[in-house]
Structure 1
Amino acid sequence: MSRQTAVLALVDIASDSRGWGLFRYILGPRVFKGQSGLQFCKVLGSGFNGGFSTKPSLSKQGFFCVFESPEQADAFRDASPIVDLYRQHAHEFFIATVQAYSSRGSWSGFSMATTTEDIAQRPIASLTRASIKPTKAVRFWEKAKPAERAIELASGKILTAGLGEAPYLRQATFTIWENTQALEDYAQQGAHLAAIKSAYGNAYFSESMFTRFIVKSAKGVWQGKHVQIN
């Protein structure tokens, strides 16, 4: 059974730290190098309102880091100077540790390992990311907007964020749900199902990764909502 554990943070940079936040985004993953057990890292921007939008935000961003073990992920979350700096410069800060139980595809050639741990009636998270083919981008975004509106009304949703490495073409979404049933109820019907069928049927992506996680811990504030999962 894999012990691989990921840390995902969402940050709304404080108004007096916007320059710091922009510089961090420009530096990207290089400042995370040397972290014990780090296997993969992405520094991400967000949509204008923290959602899935073609218009980038000037303050909202995040990072996704994958570690060999939960101990290394926890040490990074709790004691890393990098994480502490983000907290100090944040108006809102949210951080979660998660373990994948289902994953297909890859992200910049990296694929998630999965655990067989029981997921019954536990909060779960979903990460979907894709590199959108430029020739397919207009059609992709036409389908994506109704799916984003649908998620705002979805039952059992705890948190949602739109992320990306670059506006318009390299996008990701991260969501947390009360349990697997809540996610399935959203994913397998309506606008989201139509968007997925269209994406696969029309080969919108040059690379994609769809991963579901057990939420081991989550704490913080995002878009005004306080979240805590232990």
Structure 2
Amino acid sequence: MSVQTAVLVLIDIAPGSRLWGFSRYILGKFPFRNIPGLIFCKVLGSGFEGGFSTKPSLTKQGFFCVFDTKQNAETFQQSAPIVKAYSSHANEFFVATLYPYSSRGSWSGFSMNNLSSPPANEPIASLTRASIRPFKAMQFWAKAKPAEQAIKAASGSILTAGLGEAPYFRQATFTIWENLKSIDEYAQSGAHLSAIKAAYGEDYFSESMFTRFKVSSASGVWQGKHVQIP
């Protein structure tokens, strides 16, 4: 079994490139065709100011790609024309290379391998995505906002981004934490724990995927914050 490697990019489109940024949603995955080793790709929008919100951002967006090998992921990140295009049109640009070590569920039928072991005391990334049942959306969003506020106040939080394929119903959250302890303390307490219990207990989602990653590298700017790992 090959070692899957994910690349996540977050962008705040520059003022002079708004039309180009809007065109990303129209073109979707088309610019990613024929990329060597690419096995999964999602072009994503973001919530207001890059958070997890029912109000979409007009400038912040991103994409999530999974490759069959580490080598193909690194080549894509370093030299793919689409990555360079996003960077050249960005006011803020952030990119992370990630190795999954724990994943359950699926995203549009795609499931990630679980091959690497969790790092003992290194940065951890988490991607949580869900297709929300329409008749459960109001209950979901009532729980979501307190959980997002809790992330901002949580010890060990390095970066957080609210993402989505479609407003209101198909949402994702990406976070980076200092270590395993800090993400577990957040996940197992307070508003987040309440939201997770409600989501499972009341069947909020028609499909979901919860994945944790070792952060191979992460660099750039998001929401005005500079991040550099390692």
- Structure 2 length as normaliser, TM-score? 0.98
State whether residues 220 and 227 of structure 2, in contact with CA within 8 Å, keep that contact through their aligned partners in structure 1.
Answer: yes
Check whether the contact 1:2–1:114 (CA below 8 A) recurs between aligned residues.
Answer: no
1:23 equivalent in alignment to 2:23: yes
In the alignment, the residues of structure 2 paired with residue 61 and residue 159 of structure 1 have an alpha-carbon distance, to the nearest angstrom, of 15
Quick check: 1:71 aligned with 2:71?
yes
Distance in 2, matches of 1:92 and 1:175, equals 17
Query: What residue in structure 1 maps to residue 178 of structure 2?
Result: 178
Classify 1:118/1:211 alpha carbon distance in 2 versus 1 (closer, same or farther; 3 Å): closer
SS at match of 1:191: helix
Residue of structure 2 equivalent to 1:203: 203
Q: C-alpha distance in 2, partners of 1:5/1:141?
A: 31
Q: 1: CA distance between counterparts of 2:182 and 2:155? A: 7
- Which digits, 9 at most, give the CA deviation of each residue in 1:106-126, with x for residues without a partner? 000000011233511010100
CA contact (8 A) 2:99 2:116 kept: no
Pairwise CA distance, 1:200: 0.2
State how far apart, in whole Å, the 2-side matches of 1:16 and 1:114 are: 41
Q: What is the Cα deviation at residue 31 of structure 1?
A: 1.1
Q: Determine if contact 1:6/1:97 at 8 Å carries over to the other structure.
A: yes
Q: Output the CA distance in 2 between the equivalents of 1:197 and 1:177.
A: 22
Counterpart CA distance in 2 for 1:110 and 1:153 is 33
User: After the TM superposition, which parts of structure 1 deviate over 2 Å for at least 4 consecutive aligned residues?
Assistant: none
Does the CA-based 8 Å contact 2:131-2:205 persist in structure 1? yes
Q: Match for 2:89: what amino acid?
A: H
Number of residue equivalences:
230
Gaps of 5+ in 1: none
Partner of 2:86: 86
Instruction: Say if 2:144 is the partner of 1:144.
Output: yes
Among all aligned residue pairs of Structure 1 and Structure 2, give the percentage whose two residues are the same amino acid. 69
**Partner SS for 1:49:** helix
Per-residue CA distance 1:38-90 (angstroms, 9 max, x = gap):
00000000001100000000000000000001110000000011000000000
Q: Does 1:49 align with 2:49?
A: yes
SS across alignment from 1:161: strand
One-letter amino acid of the structure 1 residue matched with residue 155 of structure 2: S
Q: Distance in 1 between matches of 2:115 and 2:183?
A: 19
Calculate the TM-score normalised by the size of structure 1. Answer: 0.98
CA offset digits 1:107-157 (Å, max 9, x no partner): 000000112335110101000000000000000000111101111100001
Task: Within 5 Å, give how 1:114-133 maps onto structure 2.
Answer: 114-133=114-133
Counterpart check, 1:39 vs 2:27: no
> 1:14-52 CA distances to partner (integer Å, 9 max, x unpaired)?
011000000012211121011000000000000011000
The superposition leaves residues 183-223 of structure 1 with CA deviations (integer Å, 9 ceiling, x where unpaired) of 00100000000000000000000000000000000010000
Alignment match, 2:227: 227
Does 2:155 match 1:155? yes
Query: Which segments of 5 or more consecutive residues in structure 2 lack a partner in the other structure?
Result: none
Query: Which residue does the alignment assign to 1:191?
Result: 191
